[in-house]
Amino acid sequence: MLTGTLEESDPFTQDKPLWSVAAFVTLAAFGTSVLAQWLVLLFEQRSGQTSIAQSVDTPLSLARGALIVQFALGALIFLIMRRHAILKRRALVSSKLPLGALLSSLGLVLGLAPVANDLGFRISQAMRQSPDNARFVTEIVQHANTFEFLILGFILTLVPAFIEELLFRGVLTGALSGGPFWVVLGLQALAFGAFHVDVAQGMATFILGLGFGFLRLKTRTLLAPMVAHATYNVVVLASMRFTHLPNNPAPNQGLGLVFGGLLLSAVCAVGLQRHAQIQSSLAEPI
């Protein structure tokens, strides 16, 4: 059924949303992530580490677990695109990305970051969630030596930026291609947020997902959201390493920073909209 739906689409006509395929991709991503994390936990238990608290001094165990999850998602992406050529065409989008558009992409996501972090913090407080997990991860990052920190930097920033953008802004957004702009933008961000399971983190990643999705739809290339995602991850990891104390998780953002971030994002969004209009006009036949 899934194969037939894809094969009946004409790659030379206007794309139409593949709703069933989008639902399949979302469920498959969620299931793959849960299974991979279960395997990581099973492996750690067999190694004598029954909780993250017992692996504070082992930064490479954190890197190993994250790499297993990302490898599993990468395998899922490979299988989907190998089986469905039209979805692969839709997913692997690429177009010219001028420096101005790239800088606007970074500005938009970094502007949304304080909003996302503040929302996640407030929801976490409202739900009275324990910050222990964040503290453990921060302590792992801070106790890592230079070599371990570089390994963490690669696996926790660049790898997720590539794999998750290829999955959500590539495959999933490709399956939704042809749908109304705001529907596509909202659905892929909702799936991205739900993928992170935790409610507070999910709401924060939903906001970021809106930013990444906007970049993908306006620049028509995966490069913009990938670079922006990696940059955001680098900023978060650096803040864990150099600014956050293990016993003091990141506080909510000040209102000035939140509104300043929203203003920066709005200005960058206008710039990206103008870029999209220029690209469309250049693509129109004379």
Q: Give me the helices (H) in 127-145, please.
A: 132-143
Of all residues in the chain, what percent carry a pLDDT higher than 90?
A: 55
pLDDT band, very low/low/confident/very high, at 283 (cuts 50, 70, 90): low
Provide the pLDDT for residue 138: 83
The residue ranking higher by pLDDT, 156 or 252, is 156
The two structure tokens encoding residue 101 = 């558009």
pLDDT higher than threshold 90 for residue 5: no
Confidence (pTM) = 0.87
CA-to-CA dists, residue 103 to 108, 110, 256, 279, 281, angstroms: 9, 11, 22, 17, 22
- pLDDT of 61 > 70? The answer is yes
Each residue of 192-235: pLDDT tens digit?
Answer: 999 987 788 889 999 999 999 999 999 999 999 999 999 999 99
Q: Tens digit of pLDDT for each residue in 72-83?
A: 999 999 999 999
- Residue 11 has a pLDDT of 37
> Given pLDDT bands bounded at 50, 70 and 90, which one contains residue 244?
low
Q: What's the whole-number mean pLDDT along residues 51-57?
A: 43
53, pLDDT greater than 50: no
Dihedrals phi, psi of 39, to nearest 5 degrees: -65, -40
Contact present, 163 and 29 (Cβ < 8 Å): no
Residue 97 has a CB neighbour count (10 Å cut-off) of: 19
Round to whole Å and give the CA distance between 7 and 191.
25
